[in-house]
């Protein structure tokens, strides 16, 4: 019996030592309720609408009819609403509604954009759940579908005389009447319209910020890298918005000229551009402005940079001892005490503090069917203490 007890204690000790550090929390005997928190930060949703609304309810931010009930409290969602699950549309429309309702109640609902918001805007649809297209099927008119079908299948002809490369030489074998319904399921084009500059979701996402500074806490989806650390939040936000607008404006122009359709995907667009540059001859004058804008954004913008705020994982994965001086420098340049990030999940799938809690990871794998995690929130108490809600 004694040996058995010692074995249990040894296992428990090992588990405690292996557990990743959690953010410092209130250690009072009676933990504060969610109603006393002034702010809640929630990480990646990834289409798990049901888990998201249950979490909002537990936090007291929405009532049974999913209307704002958080009074003067604040919700900060750090991006990646979309992809991997079927409830992305419902989640984003709820956040859009709560933004207005919270403001009227004296509270605030702040939604940032993550890499999956950028991907959906620019046409990188690799991770869209097929059921997501189905949620837009009722919005897709027969006229819209027929129009897109005609324009896409005619690209080989409409681009003639404008392109220098032979990009569309074998297009008929890759895209034709037979392939079209599979390549573009019902709801696909309504989805793309919704994410366009003119679309309701697209226009709203275009107005979102990339980083958000509040009470010396900096919220961002991926992280702030050493290269980006000298760029202040206002400049990060404005440059991302400008580049998103420039990119979508350029692709719109290519569609109007009959040279490309973003429904084919952004990676196909980059292949086309590379082929045109490799052809050697100068681009047609009607195309050069659009090509140059797309090329600049692809190569230099924070939108696609691996060390940009949407994609960077150094704060989440960097060795704490070795990288601590750099993190201290990043915090100093940004003039903040803490950076709160999503995008990368802690091994425990629980909210985790790093670098003495100066970095907090809040992506806990809410989409449980994909990540087997949980819906969590980081609460900020009036005295500045942190609390984890699961």
User: pLDDT tens digit string along 317-371?
Assistant: 999 999 999 999 999 999 999 999 999 999 999 999 999 999 999 999 999 999 9
Instruction: Tell whether the model's pLDDT for residue 12 goes beyond 50.
Output: no
Q: Are 76 and 40 in contact (CB under 8 A)?
A: yes
Greatest CA separation for the chain: 86
Residues 6 or more apart whose CB falls under 8 angstroms from that of 200 comprise 194
Q: Are 44 and 80 in contact (CB under 8 A)?
A: yes
pLDDT of residue 19: 40
Q: In whole angstroms, give the CA distance from residue 5 to residue 64.
A: 47
Of 66, 64, 50, nearest to 374 by C-alpha is 50
CA angle 37, 42, 47 (to 5 degrees): 145
Q: In whole angstroms, give the CA distance from residue 286 to residue 276.
A: 14
pLDDT of residue 153: 97
Helix (H) or strand (E) holding 72, with range, is none
| DSSP codes of every residue in 142-197 | HHHHHHHHHHHHTHHHHTTTT-SS-TTTTHHHHSSTTTHHHHS-TTHHHHHHHTST
Q: What is the pLDDT of residues 257-288, one digit of tens each?
A: 999 999 999 999 999 999 999 998 789 999 99
Q: What is the pLDDT of residues 43-85, one digit of tens each?
A: 999 999 999 999 999 999 999 999 999 999 999 999 999 999 9
What confidence category does residue 33 fall into, taking pLDDT thresholds of 50, 70 and 90?
A: confident
pTM given for the model: 0.92
Q: In whole angstroms, give the CA distance from residue 85 to residue 373.
A: 14
What confidence category does residue 34 fall into, taking pLDDT thresholds of 50, 70 and 90?
A: confident
pLDDT of residue 25: 53
Helices 233-256, 115-122: inter-axial angle, 10-degree rounding: 20
3-class DSSP state of 219 = strand
131 exposure class (CB count in 10 Å sphere: 0-12, 13-18, 19+): middle
Instruction: Tell whether the model's pLDDT for residue 380 goes beyond 80.
Output: yes
Kindly state the percentage of the chain with pLDDT values over 90. Answer: 88
Q: What is the pLDDT of residues 179-230, one digit of tens each?
A: 999 999 999 999 999 999 999 999 999 999 999 999 999 999 999 999 999 9
Cα-Cα-Cα-Cα torsion 215, 218, 220, 224, nearest 10 degrees, comes to 170
């Amino acid at each position: 019996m004694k040996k058995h007890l010692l074995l249990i204690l040894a296992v428990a000790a090992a588990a405690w030592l292996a557990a990743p550090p959690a953010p410092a929390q209130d250690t009072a005997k009676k933990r504060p309720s969610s109603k006393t928190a002034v702010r809640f930060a929630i990480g990646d949703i990834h289409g798990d609408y049901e888990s998201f609304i249950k979490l909002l309810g537990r936090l007291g931010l929405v009532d049974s009819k999913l209307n704002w009930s958080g009074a003067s409290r604040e919700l900060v969602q750090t991006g990646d609403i979309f992809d991997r699950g079927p409830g992305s549309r419902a989640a984003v429309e709820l956040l859009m509604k709560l933004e207005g309702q919270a403001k009227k109640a004296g509270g605030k609902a702040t939604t940032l954009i993550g890499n999956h918001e950028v991907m959906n805007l620019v046409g990188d649809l690799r991770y869209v759940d097929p059921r997501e297209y189905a949620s837009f099927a009722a919005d897709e008119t027969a006229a819209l579908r027929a129009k897109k079908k005609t324009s896409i299948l005619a690209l080989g002809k409409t681009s003639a005389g404008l392109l220098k490369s032979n990009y569309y030489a074998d297009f008929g074998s890759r895209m034709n009447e037979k392939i079209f319904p599979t390549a573009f399921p019902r709801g696909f084009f309504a989805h793309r319209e919704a994410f366009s500059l003119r679309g309701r979701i697209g226009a709203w996402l275009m107005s979102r910020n990339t980083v958000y500074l509040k009470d010396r806490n900096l919220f961002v989806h991926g992280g702030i890298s050493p290269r980006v650390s000298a760029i202040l939040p206002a400049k990060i936000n404005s440059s991302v918005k400008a580049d998103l607008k420039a990119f979508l404006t350029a692709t719109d122009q290519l569609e109007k000229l009959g040279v490309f359709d973003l429904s084919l995907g952004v990676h196909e667009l980059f292949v086309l551009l590379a082929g045109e540059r490799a052809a050697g001859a100068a681009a047609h004058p009607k195309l050069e402005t659009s090509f140059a804008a797309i090329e600049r954004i692809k190569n230099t913008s924070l939108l696609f940079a691996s060390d940009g705020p949407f994609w960077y994982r150094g704060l989440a994965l960097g060795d704490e001892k070795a990288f601590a001086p750099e993190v201290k420098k990043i915090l100093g340049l940004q003039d903040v005490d803490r950076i709160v990030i999503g995008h990368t999940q802690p091994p425990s799938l629980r909210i985790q503090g790093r670098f003495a809690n100066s970095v907090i990871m809040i992506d806990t794998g809410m989409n449980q069917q994909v990540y087997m995690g949980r819906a969590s929130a980081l609460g900020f108490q009036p005295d500045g203490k942190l609390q984890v809600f699961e």
